[in-house]
Structure 1
Amino acid sequence: MRKLLCLTALLFVASPAIAGEVNSLTAQEKKQGFELLFNGKNFDGWKQSGNWVIEDDAVFRADKGGSLVYSERKVPDNFELRFEWKVAPKSNSGIYYRPTQYEYQILDNDGHSNGTNPRTTAASVYFCMAPSHDATKPVGEWNTGRIVAKGTVIQHWLNGKKVVDFDYNNPKWAEHVELLKRRGGDLTARGAFLSLQDHNDPVWFRSLRLREIPEDETVESENIKPAAVPADELAKEQAKVEGIEARRKQQEAQKNK
């Protein structure tokens, strides 16, 4: 009997449906309606320019050429995306999941210049909402990521920690929403193809799983407090966004000539 119990316990731990193998769905994820977007073997359903390759069951940005885009269907308005990612030293990338500037930032926080501003660190809603804290693993190790978005609620998870959680209609986040808007982002936008960014740096992704969140499933925001942005970084933000606005005006002026 003891041997039988030990064998049963071993099978329980090792079972792919429970443990969750790379590029696979667990039994629970299948029940929840998740779709596996990348099988670890080919680029079926994806579009690119040949600069992304498959390496050790992961997609790897190997050269210049643009983003890797899942083209089978657009991201649902209400959805959950689960994925794994890792970076090389000083690498920068991102996952774009809604139109305009909707980005889950991927970054080497310690090695890249964006790491000095919490609003542009890993797992932030880039240039909008900082994570509550840095939950990244050391460079070269796999991180787990998760995006949950329903209605006006946006949540970003990193390595099992919910680090971003806000309702963009809540007046307390008006300054954050306005900052992204000035950069060119619109948090009300919907209907984009999922895009893995080519930012000219090495980055790896795997185990990309997507599901549509049903109408009767509730997603409530805890409105987690983001990490504070230092005064010098706030000044840099303003200078950057003012430059963007100035270039935009110049472009519009040229079009109207």
Structure 2
Amino acid sequence: MHRLSLCLALLLSFASTSALRADEANQLTAEEKAKGFELLFNGQDLEGWKQSGNWKVTDGVIERTGRGGDIVYDVKPIPDDFELRFQWKVAPGSNSGVYYRPGQYEYQILDNQKHRDGKTPDTSAASLYYCIAPSHDATKEPGQWNTGRIVCQGTVIQHWLNGEKVVDIDYTNPELAPQIEKLKKRGADVAARGAKLKLQDHGDPVWYRSIKLRELDGKEELDKSPLKEKK
């Protein structure tokens, strides 16, 4: 494909995905209401979010527009046990992250194909950054919406991407000791709770919407199906 044609294709992709039912993306479904989810982003403005003016809302989407730092949901901390659902997309080569516990608990947001972090499994998209690699690459092309999900209960952490579970750990598992040690070296205390949700400004274009949270009772029956093999 010629360079001009490729550029046009990318522009059309971004335009079409930005217009994808944004009004519905930022609403709770009947199932989500029944489970106790709440919206953290209303789709209209950044009420409840703290930032330095480098994030804005466009067509029902939180968009990074320039330098200034991360954006934080400042209303209340993330519960000890929770499920977080969100949608994200990146431009080619972009990098961002979703932080959800004190220290460096990061769900990596990335274009795996063009960004250098995509070449290393434990820093690729949907990894527990630097510590736990996803079981396989379930990302969509840049410009397309991905659906992320984080489930934390007790000592279990799960990362989901586009409906597929890609990380499922119990950090008390002795077999994971080397990875958990890397997490601690990044500044994380595995016993710590009470961080505020943060979306990372890594200097690249990134978009978020449909950010929904519910508290778990600590006894939720979690999905324990085996992870898929790497492709």
TM-score (norm 1): 0.78
Paired position in structure 1 for 2:8:
none
Query: Counterparts of 1:195 and 1:187 in 2: how far apart (Å)?
Result: 18
Match of 1:35 among 38, 52, 73: 38
Q: Which has the higher contact order (CA 8 A, sep 6+)?
A: 2
Paired position in structure 2 for 1:85:
88
Query: Counterparts of 1:202 and 1:154 in 2: how far apart (Å)?
Result: 27
Aligned counterparts, 1:74-223, within 5 A: 74-219=77-222, 221=224
The code of the aligned residue for 2:36 comes to G
Name the structure with the higher helix share.
Answer: 1
Query: Counterparts of 1:198 and 1:223 in 2: how far apart (Å)?
Result: 33
Query: Counterparts of 2:223 and 2:61 in 1: how far apart (Å)?
Result: 33
Query: Counterparts of 1:185 and 1:74 in 2: how far apart (Å)?
Result: 16
Query: Counterparts of 1:226 and 1:187 in 2: how far apart (Å)?
Result: 27
Paired position in structure 2 for 1:235:
none
* Aligned-residue offset at 1:180: 1.6
Paired position in structure 2 for 1:68:
71
Query: Counterparts of 2:124 and 2:222 in 1: how far apart (Å)?
Result: 25
Q: Could you report, residue by residue, the CA deviation over 1:148-185 in whole angstroms, capped at 9, with x for unpaired residues?
A: 00000000000000000010101111111012212322
The code of the aligned residue for 2:76 comes to R
For structure 2, the 5+ residue unaligned runs are 1-22
Query: Counterparts of 1:82 and 1:100 in 2: how far apart (Å)?
Result: 21
The code of the aligned residue for 2:112 comes to N
Aligned residue pairs, count: 209
* Aligned-residue offset at 1:47: 0.6
Q: Could you report, residue by residue, the CA deviation over 1:35-71 in whole angstroms, capped at 9, with x for unpaired residues?
A: 0011110111111110001112100011000111001
Paired position in structure 2 for 1:8:
none
- The runs of at least 4 aligned residues of structure 1 exceeding 3 Å deviation read 220-228
**Could you say what the CA RMSD is over the residues aligned between the two structures, in angstroms?**
1.7
For structure 1, the 5+ residue unaligned runs are 1-19, 229-257
Query: Counterparts of 1:207 and 1:113 in 2: how far apart (Å)?
Result: 28
TM-score (norm 2): 0.86
Percent sequence identity is 61
Q: Which has the larger radius of gyration?
A: 1
* Aligned-residue offset at 1:200: 0.6
User: What secondary structure sits across from 1:63 in the alignment?
Assistant: coil
